[in-house]
Amino acid sequence: MSGEYDYLLRVAARDLPDYERIHKEWLSALPHVVKINSSFALREVVDRPNIDIDMHDA
């Protein structure tokens, strides 16, 4: 990639508290992570019913 960002991730979360947990416990804990910039979809554009967002609950 070129520009301001090094990586682009798509994260599926149940709600904002779930995303906050993912942000704090996983993404911010990765080595060398200094800054995270998040953007959110305000409405669903494509229905993807096969995404299992419970697969990483611990």
Task: State how many domains the chain has.
Answer: 1
Whether the pLDDT of residue 44 is over 80: the answer is no
Domain interval for residue 29 = 1-34
Residue 15 lies in a domain: yes
3-state secondary structure of 24: helix
Does 31 score more than 90 pLDDT?
A: yes
In a domain, residue 39? The reply is: no
Structural domain contains residue 5: yes
Q: How many CB atoms lie within 10 A of CB 26?
A: 13
1 — pLDDT class (breaks 50, 70, 90): low
2, two tokens? 């070129």
pLDDT tier, 40 (very low <50, low <70, confident <90, very high otherwise): confident
Residue 43 lies in a domain: no
Question: What is the model's pTM?
Answer: 0.61
- Say if 44 falls within a structural domain: no
Helices marked H in the chain: 16-22
